[in-house]
Structure 1
């Protein structure tokens, strides 16, 4: 390992550095300053950008918003630099690029694990593990892994996903790493996969998710905001982060729903992606700062 990190001067230099010095990727991860463990006691704000690896490129009404990697990285760097942003959730490609840029220094970093259920594909609900595994999360020096868990009782692929997710929770727990599980009750309607965002369906999914693996000592949940949020959150004692979704035309209502949900004791913060990176009006800084302010730190 080299004595110091070799960082590219700009996003446009990443390809050259990757081609001429692949070891720089490993050094950037191994030598980055780590997130302080005691900071997990405060409300957290994490930026998420694992959508592209599942072919989900839409944001803010633009079906290809996340397709340009250089633009996406620039927006991630801008967001991660804001005060109060604690960490990042992404696949290895984005984690490594951002580590090379120094954008993950002192951040909590979670690796996205199962991205195989490509959006719109005939096999979309086959959420097999094509990203990080538990060993890879540990080798990269990350703080944990994130698992998507879409549960459709009518689809046989769900059983395989449940089994794989349980093994991933076990693998992360054995390595003393966080397992962030994102459960949904899912159905296929008119040929499209839909998450059923109601309190009863989310409670059903939460109960299944928190039963995965031989220990839940390091399991957190990542859940959507739904109507009757307090009732829904009564389904778990696990620390929970709120997800943001694709965004919409009513940002004020969105922020207010997050603010109310953050008052629930189990809710430990926000893990938001597209609504921060591609906000209405395009102002990433204003969107991130508004979301961070909701944490009341």
Structure 2
């Protein structure tokens, strides 16, 4: 799947006005969104630093060794576990627990309530490639989102060679216009804890407004994006690009949408060597 996107900045003072304009444009009320992001970094393949480097009397590394080192150095990207916080169900005159208790099924009600509490955060494993190089009218990159419904997520990633780095939270408002998603959001800081605790911890949710902001100015980022199953299909690519450029023109009085800076969207792990010369 490929993501086509444009980005813009919204100041704190313009935030409310921008939401009103987007609500009018999309003909819908904003959907409040809260996402917990856990960042995982791949471990460097063991023994990589023991491979010979180019230079010395031979001058050029042997072709097979060069190919192996390039392969082991390639494809190292950060992954994220993204937990979408599911809003509480609206309270009615009678909930499922009351019905179960009235039927003498209190144990089942307790079990159902525990299941609901565990599903308060809907997790997915997200991979985002670096946007395509060159001057592009919109940012285009390969993305993958896999739903994670059960199991030990941290152990799963550890077995694949990924280790937990940090966490943060994204809060904002989403709008939808046909197949385009408009997400006005900002990043909040979270205290750093162990990976196992980070997956289970939701203690900060009742006090989100008290969390420190990453951007001290209080500004927001707006992302307009379209997900395309086959981004290499010329017709689908052209249509997605055309839709985003039309959206950019329609909203130019409210916000300036441009392709994202490729370096700031780079999800690759910096290549470093601990080998001593």
Both structures adopt the same fold (TM-score exceeding 0.5): no
The answer to which structure has the higher strand fraction is 2
The answer to which structure has the higher helix fraction is 1
After TM superposition, the score normalised by the length of structure 1 is: 0.24
Larger Rg: 2
After TM superposition, the score normalised by the length of structure 2 is: 0.25
Q: Which has the higher contact order (CA 8 A, sep 6+)?
A: 2
